[in-house]
């Protein structure tokens, strides 16, 4: 499990600094000991300051999970940075984020920190606690308590401001210090002469009480645990005796009181209850520490050691009891292949490799293969070939032209099965600056990450998962990757058609669109070059001849006007270049036209209209087809395929919607009788731009979706 230790030590990264600052800190050595203990327990660990950057750091370390995937756990050590109820700040954030964490929630922390409220609750539930009063400000009336008394801030911990007073003068002086330094009311308690008894609590329903521990102070100084004692600046040695040297009946009573105090304040997982034992054997609850110190010499750690839990075992036991509270089991189970269902084994395999999946995306992004870089393209082709053959996928010789397309198949073969299609080239221009991989809490960035790399990595881990559950060799499956997407599949089209004709259904791993869409229909697209040539004309000389450039502007605008939203037609001029002789106006114009259309009949009609527009006397004009990408029309087989995929998505609570798209893909090359879905790759945005990125959660969702769908395909 991923475990994030959240603490407060040095950071003051907040929007504004004001209010009472935190004085409690964990040392770096203690944080390291806890980290080492968690790693010893097999957890992946990171430590973060609990400041305003915490949400981003946690989301990056353990992002949103898919159904049945266990989220990470926060090991909360945070005392807060400033302000009231500081212990509640990080737990409140974690509650909002939906992240499990070790320790009590905001309610218990707020009740335990407010010593007056907690004592009122103790009294209400019949739990013994010293008599007390509250002083609201300087000039207070004397409380009806006997000296000696204890004074302390109403809402502080770790013995801040704690002092024994034995006279009215000492009481007023101590109270004035608290009013001035802590800016809050003062709690005055009847001092209980006697022994200091602490009881640690561990677990929930039932809560386990650890053996009682006695804190001894020696003969020097007050017989209470001061802040200076806890900071080792008092000059005296404080010792912990565990188990405390009290009889069994009293020890059981102390444990019972501690458990009841833990319950009435609604604590979770762990706490330490501090008590005083008077000479008559009466126990009085002083307070509940909802964030018990995990210092090696502290009474909580000593109590755990008394029942056989060394430090590492205690720390991992805390994670286990929190996991039990959230998930109903002590820890995320290791799914045994023979005992678990195939679905469980697939999701377990993938969820355990979330970090490996993201690392693999980073690795593939670093492999450059722009369409204009044949060397880079062939390098990634060779790399993919090695990965697939290692997984047991064999090349299909008659469906392979290594320069533009390669096909592999499972041991069961491709014929009558599922063909998965993707592309390896990244169709961006040479001039665009390379975009390196970077990770944000919700998005992964990098060159070609959405259009090519994330879908490719998703497929590789799908195949690994299928092999793990021994399904890969039994299902009819083919994988085809081509490398001329940037050239509109001009050279790979025949191979794609042939491979698709042998399959029963085709999945094209283009990225899903923002909004969790897959694509069931795409328009076709034709790309033309227009060459216009007129006679050279000298500037300023009278003439009756048509000028090439104005004529081209007019005709190209007429072509653009063929655009019709109603008829789902779009015509656009992509670029325009001119040529001229010295001292003469341009006599040659070259332009590119792009046409988007719903079906081939409409495409032919629009092409005929363009040719008619570009006909004229006195001007030579040629319309040259450069590429044609057929439309992907929704068909019955596609609807059936979409419903099957949607059923898997619904089971795993993966958001998935249908849409049609203006932009073409290799899906248009699939025969009309074959079901085809496009856009089943991870959700991406800003493809083919410097901001291309893929949604992190969709990387897991779409990988699980494809794996589960393929696993359900019939054996050969």
CATH number at residue 355: 3.40.630.10
Q: Three-state SS for 105?
A: coil
Shared-domain flag, residues 368 and 273 = no
Q: Which residue has the higher pLDDT, 313 or 220?
A: 313
In a domain, 336, yes or no: no
pLDDT given at position 24: 77
Instruction: pLDDT band for 361, please (50, 70, 90 cuts).
Output: very high
Shared-domain flag, residues 121 and 216 = yes
pLDDT in tens, 228-273: 555 565 567 788 999 999 999 999 999 999 999 999 999 999 999 9
pLDDT given at position 231: 57
pTM for the model: 0.77
Domain boundary among 566, 598, 629: 629
Domain boundary among 580, 599, 629: 629
Shared-domain flag, residues 621 and 558 = yes
Shared-domain flag, residues 451 and 545 = no
Mean pLDDT over the full length of the chain: 91
Q: Provide the residue range defining the domain that includes 507.
A: 348-522+632-711
In a domain, 456, yes or no: yes
Shared-domain flag, residues 374 and 500 = yes
Left (φ > 0), alpha (ψ -120 to 50) or beta: where does 530 sit?
Answer: beta
pLDDT given at position 21: 73
In a domain, 416, yes or no: yes
pLDDT given at position 297: 85
- What does 554-606 look like in DSSP terms, one character per residue? HHHHHHHTT-BTTTTBEEEEEEEEEE--TTB---EEEEEEEEEESSHHHHHHH
> Is the pLDDT score of 330 beyond 80?
no
pLDDT given at position 335: 34
In a domain, 174, yes or no: no
Shared-domain flag, residues 607 and 654 = no
CA pair distance 482, 478, nearest whole angstrom? 13
> Is the pLDDT score of 333 beyond 50?
no
- Kindly report the CATH number assigned to the domain that includes residue 239: 3.30.470.20
Shared-domain flag, residues 601 and 667 = no
pLDDT given at position 6: 96
- Kindly report the CATH number assigned to the domain that includes residue 559: 3.30.70.360
Contacts of 325-334 with C-beta under 8 Å, sequence gap 24+, read: 325/204, 325/268, 325/269, 326/100, 327/70, 327/100, 331/1, 332/1, 332/70
The CB density around residue 647, as the number of other CB atoms within 10 Å, is 12
pLDDT in tens, 208-221: 999 999 999 877 76
Two structure tokens written together for 63: 């992002």
Among all chains, which residue has been given the structure tokens 């005992």? Answer: 339
CA pair distance 637, 180, nearest whole angstrom? 78
> Is the pLDDT score of 331 beyond 60?
no
Share of the chain above pLDDT 70, in %: 94
**Domain count of the chain?**
4
Domain boundary among 265, 294, 327: 327
Shared-domain flag, residues 509 and 426 = yes
pLDDT in tens, 13-36: 888 887 677 777 788 899 999 999
In a domain, 276, yes or no: yes
Shared-domain flag, residues 312 and 223 = yes
* Span 644-666, average pLDDT: 95
Shared-domain flag, residues 509 and 422 = yes
Shared-domain flag, residues 614 and 559 = yes
Shared-domain flag, residues 681 and 618 = no
């Amino acid at each position: 499990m991923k475990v994030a230790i959240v603490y407060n030590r040095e950071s003051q990264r907040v929007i504004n600094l004001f209010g009472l600052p935190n004085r409690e800190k964990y040392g770096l050595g203690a944080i390291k000991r806890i980290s080492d203990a968690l790693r010893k327990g097999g957890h992946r660990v990171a430590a973060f300051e609990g400041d305003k950057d915490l949400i981003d750091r946690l989301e990056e370390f353990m992002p949103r999970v898919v159904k049945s995937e266990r989220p990470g756990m926060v090991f909360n050590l945070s005392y807060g940075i400033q302000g009231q109820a500081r212990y509640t700040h990080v737990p409140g954030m974690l509650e909002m984020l939906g992240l499990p964490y070790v320790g009590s929630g905001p309610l218990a922390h707020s009740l335990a920190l407010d010593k007056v409220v907690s004592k009122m609750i103790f009294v209400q539930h019949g739990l013994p606690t010293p008599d007390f009063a509250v002083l609201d400000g300087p000039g207070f009336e004397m409380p009806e308590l006997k000296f000696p008394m204890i004074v302390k801030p109403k809402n502080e911990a770790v013995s801040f401001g704690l002092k024994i007073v034995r006279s009215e003068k000492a009481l007023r002086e101590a109270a004035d210090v608290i009013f001035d330094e802590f800016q809050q009311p003062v709690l005055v308690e009847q001092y209980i002469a006697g022994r200091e008894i602490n009881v640690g609590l561990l677990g929930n329903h039932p809560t386990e009480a650890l053996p009682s521990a006695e804190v001894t102070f020696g003969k020097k100084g007050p017989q209470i645990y001061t802040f200076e004692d806890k900071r080792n600046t008092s000059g005296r040695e404080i010792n912990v005796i565990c188990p405390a040297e009290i009889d069994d009946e009293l020890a059981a009573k102390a444990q019972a009181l501690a458990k009841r105090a833990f319950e009435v304040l609604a604590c979770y997982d762990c706490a330490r209850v501090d008590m005083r034992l008077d000479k008559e054997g009466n126990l009085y609850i002083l307070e509940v520490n909802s964030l018990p110190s995990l210092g090696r010499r502290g009474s909580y750690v000593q109590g755990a050691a008394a029942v056989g839990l060394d430090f590492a075992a205690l720390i991992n036991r805390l994670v286990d009891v929190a996991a039990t509270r959230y998930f109903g089991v002590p820890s995320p189970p290791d799914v045994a292949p023979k005992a678990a269902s195939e679905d469980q084994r697939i999701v377990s395999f993938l969820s355990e490799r979330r970090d490996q999946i993201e690392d693999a995306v980073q690795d593939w992004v670093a492999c450059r293969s722009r369409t204009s870089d044949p060397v880079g393209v062939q390098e990634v082709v060779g790399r993919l070939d090695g990965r697939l053959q290692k997984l047991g996928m064999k090349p299909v010789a008659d469906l392979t032209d290594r320069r533009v397309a390669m096909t592999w198949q499972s041991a069961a073969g491709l014929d009558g099965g599922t063909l998965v299609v993707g592309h390896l080239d990244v169709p961006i221009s040479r001039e665009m600056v390379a975009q390196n991989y970077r990770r944000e809490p919700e998005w992964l960035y990098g060159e070609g990450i959405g259009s090519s790399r994330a879908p490719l990595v998703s497929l590789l881990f799908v195949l690994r998962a299928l092999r793990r559950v021994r399904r890969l060799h039994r299902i009819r499956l083919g994988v085809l990757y081509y490398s001329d997407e940037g050239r509109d599949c001009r050279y790979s089209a025949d191979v794609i058609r042939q491979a698709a004709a042998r399959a029963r259904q085709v999945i094209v791993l283009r990225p899903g669109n923002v909004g969790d869409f897959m694509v069931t229909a795409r328009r076709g697209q034709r790309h033309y070059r227009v060459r216009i040539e007129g006679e050279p004309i000298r500037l300023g000389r009278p003439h009756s001849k048509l000028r090439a450039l104005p004529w081209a502007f007019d005709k190209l605008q007429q072509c653009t006007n063929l655009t019709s939203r109603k008829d789902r037609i779009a015509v656009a001029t992509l670029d325009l270049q001119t040529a001229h002789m010295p001292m003469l106006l341009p006599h040659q114009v070259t332009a590119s036209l792009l046409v988007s259309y719903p079906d081939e009949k409409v495409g032919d009609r629009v092409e005929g209209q363009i040719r008619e527009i570009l006909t004229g006397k006195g001007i030579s004009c040629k319309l040259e087809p450069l590429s044609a990408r057929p439309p992907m029309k929704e068909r019955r087989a596609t609807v059936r395929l979409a419903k099957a995929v949607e059923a898997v998505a619904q089971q795993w609570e993966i958001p998935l919607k249908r849409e049609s798209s203006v932009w073409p893909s290799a899906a248009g090359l699939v025969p009309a009788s074959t079901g085809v879905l496009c856009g089943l790759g991870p959700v991406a945005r800003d493809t083919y731009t410097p901001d291309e990125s893929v949604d992190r959660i969709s990387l897991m969702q779409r990988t699980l979706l494809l794996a589960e769908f393929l696993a359900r395909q019939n054996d050969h």
